[in-house]
Amino acid sequence: MKQDYAHYLSKTAKELQPSGIRKFFDLAASMKDVISLGVGEPDFITPWNIREAAILSLEQGETAYTANPGLLELRQEITNYLGTRFGVEYDPKNQIIVTIGASQAIDLAFRAILNQGDEVLIVEPAFVSYAPLVSIAGGTPVALSTSPENGFKLTPEQLENAITEKTKAILLCFPNNPTGTSLNKEELTEIARIVEKHDLIVVSDEIYAELTYDEVFTSFSALEGMYDRTILINGFSKGFAMTGWRLGLLAAPAPFVEVMLKIFQYTTMCAPTMLQHGAIEALRNSFHDVETMKRSYRRRRNFVVQTLNKIGLDCHIPGGAFYVFPSIKATGLTSEQFAEELLMQERVAVVPGHVFGESGEGYVRCSYATSMAQLQEALKRMQRFLESKGVYGENTVEILK
Partner 1 sequence: MKLSSEEIEILKIIEEDHKLSVETIASMVLSSEEKVKAAIEKLEQEKIIISYPTLIDWSKVEGQENIIAMIDVKVTPKRGVGFDEVAERIYRFPEVTSLYLMSGAYDLSITVEGKTMTQIATFVSEKLSTIDNVISTTTHFMLKKYKHDGVIFGGGDEKDKRMVVSP
Closest CA to 361 of 313, 329, 400: 329
List 302, 329, 380, 381, residue binding partner 1 (CB under 8 A): 302
List 155, 184, 306, 334, residue binding partner 1 (CB under 8 A): 306
Q: Does residue 153 interact with partner 1 by CB under 8 A?
A: no
Least Å distance, CB 39 to partner 1, is: 5
Q: Does residue 327 interact with partner 1 by CB under 8 A?
A: no
Q: Does residue 324 interact with partner 1 by CB under 8 A?
A: no
Q: Does residue 132 interact with partner 1 by CB under 8 A?
A: no
Q: What are phi and psi of 67, to 5 degrees?
A: -55, 150
Least Å distance, CB 317 to partner 1, is: 9
What sign for the dihedral angle of Cα 53, 59, 65, 71? negative
Least Å distance, CB 167 to partner 1, is: 26
Name which of residues 350 to 379 contact partner 1 (CB under 8 A).
351, 370, 372, 376
Of residues 16 and 29, the one with the C-beta less far from partner 1 = 29
Name which of residues 42 to 101 contact partner 1 (CB under 8 A).
43, 45
Q: Does residue 197 interact with partner 1 by CB under 8 A?
A: no
Helix (H, G, I), strand (E, B) or coil at 141: strand
Position 2, amino acid:
K
Q: Does residue 24 interact with partner 1 by CB under 8 A?
A: yes
- Span of 25-33, 50-58, 277-285, 386-394 interacting with partner 1 by CB under 8 A: 25-33
Closest CA to 51 of 41, 43, 59: 59
In which order are the strands placed within the sheet that holds 167-172? Answer: 96-100, 247-251, 230-235, 201-205, 167-172, 119-124, 140-145
C-alpha 300/C-alpha 304 separation (Å) is: 6
Q: What are phi and psi of 153, to 5 degrees?
A: -90, 145
Residue 319 DSSP label: S
CB contact at 8 A, 125 and 359:
yes
Helix (H, G, I), strand (E, B) or coil at 352: strand
Name the site residues for partner 1 (rule: CB under 8 A).
19, 21, 24-25, 28-29, 34, 36, 38-41, 43, 45, 127-129, 177, 295, 299-300, 302-303, 306-307, 349, 351, 370, 372, 376, 400-401
